[in-house]
Amino acid sequence: MPNTNKDDACTVAEQIREAIAAKELIKRSTGENLGRLTVSIGIAQASMNDISATLIERSDKALYHAKDSGRNRCEIAPDQHIEQLQDIAV
């Protein structure tokens, strides 16, 4: 989402997540209700020092944090400089 800050991206991601969760899956051949889907989303904002791999890595960490925190939610990755400080502290 070019030219979008992480908070606005989270708003869009929440709208997508809610739209998916609101739909029921119906098996066309039988009409059987298969329930609802849930979605976990990880969000990271690109910084000047990012390459595609580091941006994907941070968004992937945010995704797994969302899954570990109960699923069906959006999580925003910490800014890159904050994450680097966390890595140094560990």
Structural domains in the chain, sorted by start: 6-83 (3.30.70.270)
Sign of the dihedral defined by the CA atoms of residues 32, 30, 18, 1, in that order: positive
- Could you report the per-residue pLDDT of 64-75, keeping only the tens digit for each? 999 999 999 999
- The pLDDT, as a whole number, for residue 44 is 93
Task: Kindly report the pTM of this predicted structure.
Answer: 0.78
- Could you report the per-residue pLDDT of 13-50, keeping only the tens digit for each? 999 999 999 999 999 999 999 999 999 999 999 888 88
